[in-house]
Every structure is written in structure tokens, then in C-alpha cells.
Structure 1
């Protein structure tokens, strides 16, 4: 009787062991299947995002006697491996629709974007009719940007034009107001005029990116005083230029970086046409990363060296530091 009970227990134990072993095998196979599925759909390492780099047509011209054709810049940019071309308005051959369509098609055929149209205007003008002319000029350029498929326009505050643009000016940026007026008057003119332009820009879906472009905007406090009341507009942006700071550029760049829509980055190979700067682009790239900047870097090569050699060198530098 005792032997029979022990035999039954041994048989039952064996059956339990076999059942457990079978279940363990199924679980192991299922586990491997799940692991394989996960490995198949989740990359081992997320690749770093590539920052797009454009080149300004200005890099090839610098307001010389003969305009450097925008078409040639687009073709060269494609060969060198740029992602886009910033068009300087004053460098365009004309403002006809066929010409603008030609530039848009040429960029498209070469796999390039046209991220920015850089225009000139000034709202630091005491006469309302003079400011109105530049507002109308801006609205015209907004329509041109729409025609060419360009999403943003570079905007200036303007300046009093009371100081000679010599080496000293670019060191201190000092420019006294016209007699009878103050910088606060000019700030108000800029806010009001930009506000009018933003009405047209919002309808067109174009960003107006105000730049630290000398004049009133040499003072970063003034620039932010103009920008912040307008920042609630979906069409308001900021273009931060690495080479247009008075004094130590890095703390000022750090202040503007969180607001940047696009960044113009200057190089000075062969010595600058107006002034020289030795910019630390690794430091600049770190500031932009901390600010979570994801937009375009647009090269403005402002040196005396031939663009044929200076532009490729600039691109190589930017790919290294901004990637």
C-alpha cells in the first residue's frame, strides 16, 4: 500500500515537471520573439539631427559694381552641398514674375530650399510718410517672397544715420539721435511700423525676422524692446547675426538665441571688408544647442578672399561645428 502511494506521487511529480518544462519552453520562445520584434522596430541609436545650412547670395557679391548672378549662386550651392540659398533682394536682377519663377524652379531642380529673402528698410525716420514708404516696400517684398516660395524675410530696425560707418562705428555702434528726437521715439516707430507689416505677413504666411543689423538694433536691449511686444504674432521672428554685435558677442548672442528663427553666420577669410572678427563657432554652436535651435544657419562670407575658396571652407567649418 505504501509502495503504491509512493509510485503515484512519483508519477504525479514527473507529470508536473514535464508540464512546467513545456511552459518554460513556450515562454522562452515567446520572449525571444518579443525581443526580436522590439529589436526590429527600435533603432539601437537615434542619429543626430542635421542642422540645415544655407548660403547667402551676398557671400559672392558684397555690393560690388557688377551684380553676381543669383542663378550662379544657386548652382554653386548645389555643387558644394548646401541645403538652401538666402537671396539678397538688392542682388536680384529684377522683380518680374518670370525671373522670380526662374529662381524658384532652379532651386527646386537643384534640391535646394530658399529659406530667407534679405531686404533693406528703415523705420528710424521722423516723418510718417517716409516710414510709410518702407512699410509699403516691405509689403511688396512679402508678396515677392510668396511668389518665390520663401517663408521668411530679414527685417532691419534702421538707424539715425548720424555717425560715419567707419571702423570705430563697428566697434562701439554709437549713433546719436537726430536733434529733437530720442531713441525711445525710434523704438516706438519701429514697433508701430513692424506691427503694420505683420498684418500683411500674417495673411501671407510669411515670417518677418528682425535682425541685429547695426543702427538702433546695435543695442540688444532696444532690439528686445521692439521684438517682445510683437512676439505674440505668428508672423514675428528674429534673425540673429553672429557678426553684428558691439563688444563681447557671446553673452549677447546667448540672450538672443532663444528667440532665433534663423541665424546668419559670418566668416571673414582674407580679412573683412568692413571689420574683422575671430568668432569661436564651437562656442556659438553650443549656445544654439542649449537654446534648442533647430532652424537654418545661413552663411554670410564677408571676407576679401575669393568666394570660390572661402565659401567651401566656411561650409566645412559649419558642418563640423553645427552637426
Structure 2
């Protein structure tokens, strides 16, 4: 295979999103050239962002305003910010454009929009309201110039509280008289239609391993693979697989468009995971992940102290 053909194939793989490496045989590479390709993958440097949730955490009123979070993120040296949609007190266009302008002036990418929705309900009207909310969020992300948006399957709502859900390791029973098989169809139907809208707006949705059907990598993959759209991929959270995380993270790494990296300085509020980020970075780089890593600090330590410490750690590995 000539050099120009080989270069074209490699470039095409990157433009397609870098989902996986092309086998050496397909490229016509020798063993030495294949080793060089592997070495190149090992040199991947990911940009590091921070979720606004890391500052606010639903607790610190003084750190809720988005302009405050953006100033801190720029001062600390982050490359971008992922906005938690629930943190915004207003989502009118004037507010969104003000946020976008400030981020630009500060040299920050607005690189992720983290949203909440739920489709695990037999009530078609309730699912419809969640569909409309998700569509509104897609439009907000588009207005902000954000390329990817975190989405969820939602939960059954049979837990009395989030604390109870966490006590049960994120697992809950379906509503009486209903099954997970029904739930998968509700979620697949919703995201099949939403993927068409996401394409029009140019915003890639990332289904997160975030409780509900997202408790397992198999659950996330089942939805994403059924929708079969490049506009529904995976937002991968390092802290949401509470057992055997590395094997599970590996299963979703090839379809990941945004990696949310949890840290727990000072101990976690619901649980603490001792995550090996050297190992996680290796998993992601072997999958040729070149996208953003978004810090989600979820510890009890002062975020203004713990967030820079988390950034230094992530820079070391990514």
C-alpha cells in the first residue's frame, strides 16, 4: 500500500472521531510501523475541563453563579468548562450568550452540557415532557456553541430518596407491573427521535452510565447500539461503576465522546472510590480517545483547594 493511501486511512479514522485504531493489516503497515502507531497513541494529550458542578455541588450558594465558576476555572488553568444545566437560574438567550462571551474572553471552551431527564415511566405524557425538556436543552447547548450534551435514561423513582438509591448502589426495582424490557423500548424510542434533532443542531448526545439503565455498560450499549446514530454516543463517568470499574470502563471507551473524571478529596459524600487514573488514562488512550476529560469533584474538601489538586493529577495522566 502506498504512503498516500495509508495517510488517507489514518486521517479518515481521526476525522471519524477516533473511535478505534485501524488494524495494521488494513493499513498495510509493517510490524515496525504498527509499533510506531501504538507509540503515537501513547502520546495522546487530552484537554482537561471542569464541570461547574465541581464548584457548586448543589451546596455552595456562593459558587452557583456561572460567571464565578468560569472565572475560577480560567484562573486555575482549565482548558474548558462543562455546564450543569440545573445550575443555571435562567436559560433565556441573552443569559446564554453572556455566558458564551465570557468563556471566549477567558480563553475557555464551553465543551459540555450536563442535563437531566427520565424516560423510565409508563406515563406517555410524562415521557413527552422529558422529551421536550431534552430538546430544549439541545437547543440551549446549540446556542452556547457546546458540541456535546450528557443525557440519562432516568430512574424508576421507586427509591425514597437519592440517599437511598446510593445506599442500594444505584440499583432499584421497576415500578410494579412493569419491566426493564419495557423501559429499554421507551428510552430507545425517545433517543431515536432526539438523535434526529441533535443532528440538525450539531450537538452530540452522550448517554451516561448514570443509574437507571445506565448502571451497567451493557445497558448503555444496548441503547446506543439500538439507536445507531453518530449523534448518540457515550458520556463515560469514572465514578459510576461501583464494582470492577476498569473492565466496565473499557467496554464503553470506544464509544465515548466525553470522559467525566470523578475525584473525592476529603472523602465522598455518598461513597469514595480509589480510582487508578494512570490505568484509566491507559484504557482511554488504547481506545484512541482524544476528547475532553471533564473533572467532577465530589468530595468534602473545599472545592477551591481540591479542584486545582485534581487538575494537577489529571494533567499528569492525560
Query: Could you tell me the TM-score, scaled by structure 2's length?
Result: 0.83
Q: Which residue of 1 aligns with 2:47?
A: 52
Largest Rg, 1 or 2: 1
- Correspondence list, 1:165-204, <5 A: 165-166=162-163, 169=166, 172-204=169-201
Alpha-carbon distance in structure 2 between the residues aligned to 1:273 and 1:173:
14
CA deviation string 1:117-165 (max 9, x = no partner)? 1010001111111101011001111111111111111000011122343
Unpaired runs of at least 5, structure 1 = 1-44
Q: Which residue of 2 aligns with 1:216?
A: 213
In structure 2, the CA distance between the partners of 1:65 and 1:107, relative to structure 1 (3 Å rule), is closer
What is the deviation of 1:172? 3.6
CA deviation string 1:62-102 (max 9, x = no partner)? 11273611111111111111110000001112111111111
Larger relative contact order, structure 1 or 2 (CA cutoff 8 Å, min sep 6): 2
In structure 2, the CA distance between the partners of 1:170 and 1:286, relative to structure 1 (3 Å rule), is farther
Unpaired runs of at least 5, structure 2 = 1-38
Alpha-carbon distance in structure 2 between the residues aligned to 1:168 and 1:236:
26
Q: Which residue of 2 aligns with 1:145?
A: 141
What is the deviation of 1:167? 6.8
Paired residue secondary structure (1:124): coil
RMSD between aligned residues: 1.8
Contact 1:160 1:177 (8 Å CA) reproduced: yes
Query: Could you tell me the TM-score, scaled by structure 1's length?
Result: 0.82
Alpha-carbon distance in structure 2 between the residues aligned to 1:97 and 1:169:
36
What is the deviation of 1:174? 2.4
Q: Which residue of 2 aligns with 1:303?
A: 299
Q: Which residue of 2 aligns with 1:264?
A: 260
Aligned length: 277
What is the deviation of 1:266? 0.3
